[in-house]
Chain A
Amino acid sequence: MTYPQILCLIVAIPFMGAGLILLAGKYHNLRDTLSLLVAMVLCGTVYQLIEPLRQGNSTQVTLLEVTPSLSLGLSVEPLGLLFALVASFLWIVTGLYAIGYMRGHHEKNQTRFFACFAIAIGGAMGVSFSSNLFTLFAFYELLTLCTFPLVTHHGTDEAKKAGRIYLGILLATSVGLQLFAIIWTWNLAGTLDFRPDGILAGTASDRVLSILIVLFVFGVGKAAVMPFHRWLPAAMVAPTPVSALLHAVAVVKVGVFTILKVAIYIFGLDTLAQLGSTPWLRWVVAATIILGSLVAFTKDNLKARLAYSTISQLSYIVLAALLANEFAIIGGGMHIAMHAFGKITLFFAAGSVLVASHKTNISDMKGLGRRMPLTFAAFFVGSLSIIGVPPAGGAWSKWFLGLGTLEAGEQGLLAVLMVSSLLSLVYLLEVPIRAFFSPPESDQEGTGIQEAPWPCLLAMGISSGMTVGLFLFPDFLYEMMTMVFST
């Protein structure tokens, strides 16, 4: 198969998978097997793209011309490939986990769930390989729409209300600010293609471009920069696999990925670093980092705490884009992967606790670690990665991010990163500490709480193993990220 064909296939596979899942809807085992198989095929196909990219082969496919000035096109570049690899690999793991969770928790409408899930991954693939902003925007919106049924999966009034917040904020920011910025970009540059040095340099005054970057940062609502972050905690009403893969990996990472892409390939790092609004925008994002961590403290509901932790961590990557130097971008790109593996482990663990013990609040989890040691051990490893200490992968991305702040001459921001890490140390480690060292509450006796179903444990094992693995062998990620600057 030729290179462009593989590229088209990658975007098509999840959609075909969704079709197969719908067809096999009545046969639960077949459906779940298919879902896993499609995920594996996808990941394998994405893997095929690494070697050609290393050899410097780049390709571009135009799928269709919508109007003479707008086209739907795909291309491969290192950052997108990295993101696609992470998302497609974690789809396999989540697929495994979801089987255990959805059955263990007796969820309804499982067929719709798995189909929408596949479409969402298709959207993420489309975003990561899009060759221009229009394509990216189209898949971005697809992702918003197809995750709505997943958020409102339970169909309760609470879920519907959350769904409205979810859709409202994501659509309002993307149509009101992002689309506006995209059209403005076209108006200035006459193209929307992603180019290595950006397309906006020298097209407009500093003031116009300053406004434009603000529009992009807030318009990409999926990056959850405050004050447009409310949708993410709202989305936590969804079943845990959705929170894990979509609201810790696919959807939110599409957001920060978009901002990285815009910073590198639309503005160009040199242009971005010199804009008048960049320095204070960095501090707005830094505020989200600190505030997100502080709010996470106050949440007793485990998933809500993780959601605010995600908000804080996403802004690390947005900050990386705004620091606009090589170290920061390397750190930001690596953090996409590191945070993905770490956070998904935490969500898996939270879901396992829910399935096994029906507990959602941290204060109720005292002593649970003795009954579910594997789950809480995985949670511990995941926490280390989010905090950014060895032996977990998060240490590397934070290292490069820190270098990036110094390179940009922003020592204050380095302090922000450190403070936030300390905060996350406290609010995350509280959970395993309570579980292992607090005496169990009396009502646990005789309830027969046991470890989660084995697919859940296996999934957690893989993802937490990967976080440690990425600490030991970060070279691949580093190599991919340096390729961003060599091509």
Chain B
Amino acid sequence: MMNHLPVLQVIIPLLAAPLCVIVRNGQIAGVIAVASSWVSLWMAWKIFQLVQVAGTISYNLGGWMAPIGIEYRIDTLAAFVLILVTLVGAVVTPYAITSVKKEIDESKEALFYAAFLLCLSGLLGIVVTGDIFNVFVFLEISSLSAYALIALGKDRRALIAAYQYLIMGSVGATFIVIGIGMLYVMTGSLNMADLAILLPQLPSNRIIPVAFAFLTIGVCLKLALFPLHVWLPNAYAYAPSAVTAFIASTATKVAIYMLLRICFTIFGPDFSFVKMQLGAILLPLSVIAIFSMSLVAIFQTNVKRMLAYSSLAQIGYIVLGISLFTNTGLTAGILHLFNHAVIKGSLFMALGCVMYRLNSVDLESMRGLGRKMPLTMGAFLVGGFSLIGVPFTAGFISKWYLIQGALEKGLWPVALLVLMTSLMAVVYIWRVVESVYFSEFNGSDADEITEAPLGLLLPTWVLAILCLYFGVNGTFTALAASSAAANLMGAGS
């Protein structure tokens, strides 16, 4: 069975999804979702260990040899992202059981879990597969289910947000499939490793750069890099709490993973960064994203929206790390990809707890909540500190590497900008802290507001503690990220 882990990683949630629809019972579906997401986490861990020992794993689907058959290929980076996605999945599903009861119609509960598991398996599929058309298929599975999940939000604006995401996401997916088509026309192959060998052999032509442009722009839409980000804030703000927590920590991260695969594995670093000068495009865009989105976040009154804009800025940090095109920069990008997922997961889950009790996450309605819900707001505080990058939180470590990367390249203004925007994070997090801890509660139903139920608190604190753990003992993440980065950088040479 261990040999089949790569495919089981995708198959199990994929099969659990229709199972949820068949049973039709929200409670049982919830149990199925939890069980399959936990099994997924366990498998991801096993795969990670295997990759550490044996190096890159290759698995031929149905026994057909690559490049004819579909190959699943897992290297350090893929294994690391697998852990991240399944970890967030395994924490969010138990959280969803309590949260969904309140936010979604009982009749739709089973469907929610089905969509959730589809989304999970789609994301996992993107990570494990070594076949570029397969990437597109899994991307559509995860995106379509994500649109449905967002549309389930109680607020009616969720529908518009989901529709907006649908349109933008489909544009992105179309760009990607056009790029894939061009590559297929030129090489006759869809296997990534195969493409990596065939592409450099082609005589110089215009189609390959165009394909590269289509693919990167499509992916940048998916990962919400400025200025292709407009779909994201509304989608995050109006989706059900569990969905926001899951999508915010995984969907954009997997899109960044796709960007890395396309640039480094398929086209090779020399083509992407030396010939096409991708770094020169990504660097200014990410710098603008970091600065402008942090600024916008400061002026939000809906805390969920505020965190959505903060996510856009944080995506900027990750892309900034990648655009530096050095080992340290790439390590920083991959590290922040992981750390930010954990941080944002804990923050959005804490907000979900607030939503559960208050039915609102406005700054104004959260006044004085520190005394009413100390554990929830404690978790928020931990996540917030981590977002700022206080020492001994996960955020500090990724920023440390990022600034090192910038200084190595002599880009000290960029390094300074990273620190300045950390201060902007202080401002927007502090607005919440001041409202929550240093203001009086002003709601009418003061007695009814109590601490969130354990079913929400426990998963929230799991991620909050991980924020601290990866800040105190960052060796695991830092080593995994740097070995993944070295792998990617070495791929082309």
Stretch at the interface among B12-20, B72-80, B109-117, B419-427: B419-427
Partner of B471, one of A66, A155, A172, A184: A66
Tell me if B403 counts as interface (CB < 8 A to partner A). Answer: yes
- CB contacts under 8 Å to B, within A169-184, are 171-172, 175-176, 179-180, 183-184
Pair A171/B475 contact, Cβ less than 8 Å? no
Report the Cα distance A186→B408, complex, angstroms.
11
Residues of A within 8 A of B478 (CB): 67-68
A70/B400 contact (C-beta < 8 A), A141-B391, A180-B416, A187-B408 known: yes
Pair B423/A171 contact, Cβ less than 8 Å? yes
Tell me if A195 counts as interface (CB < 8 A to partner B). Answer: no
Residues of B within 8 A of A187 (CB): 404, 407-408
Report the Cα distance A187→B392, complex, angstroms.
20
Nearest A-chain residue to B420, judged by Cβ: A176
Residues of B within 8 A of A66 (CB): 392, 397, 471-475
Nearest A-chain residue to B439, judged by Cβ: A160
Nearest B-chain residue to A184, judged by Cβ: B407
Kindly state the interface size class of chain A when it binds its partner. 20 to 34
| Closest beta carbon of chain B to A305's beta carbon, Å | 29
Pair B438/A152 contact, Cβ less than 8 Å? yes
Nearest B-chain residue to A183, judged by Cβ: B403
Partner of B423, one of A175, A184, A186: A175
Report the Cα distance A118→B334, complex, angstroms.
39
- CB contacts under 8 Å to A, within B361-403, are 389-392, 397, 400, 403
Pair B391/A134 contact, Cβ less than 8 Å? yes
Tell me if B415 counts as interface (CB < 8 A to partner A). Answer: yes
Report the Cα distance A70→B276, complex, angstroms.
36
| Closest beta carbon of chain A to B380's beta carbon, Å | 16
| Closest beta carbon of chain B to A357's beta carbon, Å | 31
Residues of B within 8 A of A65 (CB): 473, 475
Residues of B within 8 A of A422 (CB): none
| Closest beta carbon of chain A to B399's beta carbon, Å | 9
Tell me if A415 counts as interface (CB < 8 A to partner B). Answer: no
Tell me if A138 counts as interface (CB < 8 A to partner B). Answer: yes
Residues of A within 8 A of B408 (CB): 187
Report the Cα distance A104→B268, complex, angstroms.
73
- CB contacts under 8 Å to A, within B463-488, are 471-475, 478-479
Tell me if A64 counts as interface (CB < 8 A to partner B). Answer: yes
Pair B391/A137 contact, Cβ less than 8 Å? yes
Pair B407/A64 contact, Cβ less than 8 Å? no
Residues of A within 8 A of B473 (CB): 64-66
Nearest A-chain residue to B425, judged by Cβ: A175
Partner of A64, one of B400, B403, B420, B472: B472
Give how many A-B residue pairs fall within 8 Å (CB-CB). 62
Report the Cα distance A52→B434, complex, angstroms.
47
Pair A68/B475 contact, Cβ less than 8 Å? yes
Residues of A within 8 A of B419 (CB): 175-176, 179-180
- CB contacts under 8 Å to B, within A395-449, are none
| Closest beta carbon of chain A to B475's beta carbon, Å | 6
| Closest beta carbon of chain B to A22's beta carbon, Å | 14
Residues of A within 8 A of B404 (CB): 183, 186-187
Residues of A within 8 A of B403 (CB): 180, 183
Pair A138/B416 contact, Cβ less than 8 Å? no
For chain B, the count of residues having a C-beta within 8 Å of the partner chain is 28
Contact with B along A56-86 (1 / 0, CB 8 A): 0000000011111010000000000000000
Residues of B within 8 A of A186 (CB): 404
| Closest beta carbon of chain A to B321's beta carbon, Å | 14
Report the Cα distance A476→B1, complex, angstroms.
72
A68/B479 contact (C-beta < 8 A), A160-B438, A175-B422, A180-B403 known: yes
Report the Cα distance A391→B472, complex, angstroms.
49
Report the Cα distance A176→B425, complex, angstroms.
12
A141/B472 contact (C-beta < 8 A), A70-B400, A180-B415, A183-B404 known: no
Nearest A-chain residue to B388, judged by Cβ: A175
Residues of A within 8 A of B479 (CB): 68
Report the Cα distance A484→B430, complex, angstroms.
41
Pair B426/A67 contact, Cβ less than 8 Å? no
Residues of A within 8 A of B391 (CB): 134, 137-138, 141
Partner of A171, one of B415, B426, B434, B471: B426
Report the Cα distance A68→B434, complex, angstroms.
36
Residues of B within 8 A of A167 (CB): 430
| Closest beta carbon of chain A to B332's beta carbon, Å | 12
Pair A67/B416 contact, Cβ less than 8 Å? no
A67/B407 contact (C-beta < 8 A), A138-B392, A175-B419 known: no
Nearest A-chain residue to B427, judged by Cβ: A168
| Closest beta carbon of chain B to A138's beta carbon, Å | 4
| Closest beta carbon of chain B to A270's beta carbon, Å | 25
| Closest beta carbon of chain A to B486's beta carbon, Å | 14
Residues of A within 8 A of B420 (CB): 176
Report the Cα distance A402→B471, complex, angstroms.
45
Report the Cα distance A186→B401, complex, angstroms.
11
Partner of A141, one of B390, B412, B471, B475: B390
A176/B397 contact (C-beta < 8 A), A64-B473, A66-B474, A141-B391 known: no
Report the Cα distance A172→B434, complex, angstroms.
18
Residues of B within 8 A of A67 (CB): 397, 400, 474-475, 478
Report the Cα distance A180→B417, complex, angstroms.
10
A176/B423 contact (C-beta < 8 A), A66-B472, A67-B475 known: yes
- In the assembled complex, 5 residue pairs joining A and B whose CB atoms fall closer than 8 Å, in A order, are A66-B474, A67-B400, A68-B478, A70-B400, A70-B474
Using a CB–CB distance below 8 Å, which chain B residues touch chain A? 389-392, 397, 400, 403-404, 407-408, 412, 415-416, 419-420, 422-423, 426, 430, 434, 438, 471-475, 478-479
Besides A67-B474, A175-B389, A176-B419, 17 more A-B contacts (Cβ < 8 Å) are: A64-B472, A65-B475, A66-B397, A66-B473, A66-B474, A66-B475, A67-B397, A67-B400, A68-B475, A68-B479, A137-B391, A138-B392, A141-B391, A160-B434, A176-B416, A180-B416, A184-B407
8 shortest A-B CB distances, which residue pairs? Answer: A138-B391, A67-B474, A67-B478, A187-B407, A183-B403, A176-B419, A66-B474, A180-B419
